[in-house]
Structure 1
Amino acid sequence: MTSAILTRFTQPEYTGENRCLPCTVVNVGIAAAGSALLALWSPFVGLAAFVASALIIYVRGYLVPGTPELTKRYLPARIHRLFGTHGPAEPTAKGPIDIEAELTAEGIIVDDSEDLTLNPSFHAAWDNAIARVSEESLMDSLSAFLETDQPLLIEEDGTRTMVFADGAPAGNWESQAALIADVAAHQTLISRFPNYLEYDRETRARMVGAVRMFLEACPTCGGDVEIGEEVVKSCCRAFDVVAFSCRDCGVRLAEFELLEAEPA
């Protein structure tokens, strides 16, 4: 009964995979401050108020009505980037491993002095791998990519393609076409990059994401890929992105945020 009530009042657009950490932190802070004031009058009432507020934040995503709009308007972009929420991952590595340099050293990415491109033989092998990822083989390919033997479920909400392993979030992509491109890139890197499997899973995910930026045709319909700048809006912010989309079916294949230059 309790579970059914919680499910009824849950807002999926603001909870789970879609939970906004800035919104959550702001609301928990407000709940803590209000409960502390009540605790001056009665510790029991203050504790009860905080527990009730925390439950509301958990099932609704926020406590104060209008929080998404307030954080979108007033919370600085650098704070959003600090939390790493509601924005696509940056296309270049910031950690100790330079993804572009690693793929270039292996001859997978080629710098022709004018632009970066994929090695033609790698691209051909990747295209062949994409063609082999059928509806029947997708789950097996995805299990290998995620390194799990748990039952997988793919769900789409119109803006993202989410994957769950035994009910737990395991990853999300811009679309199922992007997912297919990644599992095929994973298979191709295994055969073309001798040390690929020696990297940790996060680094390998960044490598296949970098490869996906070179898609020329949509993995699901074969349409040409076009690149453009767009403004993407989430529950609590808006940001400019470079978007890679299929010209024919319109699915989003990749995107990365155009970061503001930090003041000198």
Structure 2
Amino acid sequence: MNEHEIRTLLIKATEDRPAGIDLMPALPRRRLPRLLVPIAALGAAAAVALVAVVLPATPSTAQAQVVAAVENTSQESYRIHTTAGVREFDGAFDPVQRVGVITRNDGTETRIVGDLIYVKDSGDAKWTVSPRSDAELEQAPPAVALVKLAPLDPQAALQRLRTATDVSESGPASGQGWTGTRFTFSLEASGGTDLKAGASARATGVVDVDDQGRVRHLEVAFKDTAGPTVTDFSDFGTPVSVTAPPADQVRQAPADKLGKPTS
């Protein structure tokens, strides 16, 4: 039954109603409030602004992208595999918790717990502890520090990439389960190093950054050395648990060895 039929029935049933009274007045048409249009416009603008906040712009230069990748890699745990000549290193790091563990292919183990680094050579009954920071490496040219730190403290090594120069994008990169971009770079290596005589004053390298902005592959080499030091990063987000050795199994490092990596 439509509105007209209902009105007719009501009129029939109330023919003796007082004059001037309409029991079924016409329903006014609803109009959209004028405020809805500007509010909708404001909502659309807010949505655009929100997208701009949630999705930051990609760094504009190759160097900025590498620096951003260093920061991203320091935000979650990961595993590493490093080769340096005949030596190989496998380990796991959690930069947020500031812990890590590395095992060398000859059995030497290194543990990092906060500001301390523990090293136990294969066959040794005790661990040697020293401060994680090394004044000598902090003052060394970035390339030298990176090569020395990569096997035992990859997070510290990554920080040296901040000073990389001649950074440029060289094409796509990929690995098991990821794709990304490869960058080439140079690092300063002069200033009184202990490199072999005749070694180049600069080091060159490549760093692969995945599509999530994390470092996946890093290698650096000096022109006159046998080969590069290569580190691969994987298994991001995997929990890493490292504890300091028992106190009765720890000895202090000699004064001339404090903080020095044994790579």
TM tier relative to shorter chain: under 0.3
Structure having greater relative contact order (Cα 8 Å, sep ≥ 6): 2
TM-score (normalised: structure 2): 0.23
The higher radius of gyration belongs to: 2
Question: Which structure has more helix as a fraction of its residues?
Answer: 1
Question: Which structure has more strand as a fraction of its residues?
Answer: 2
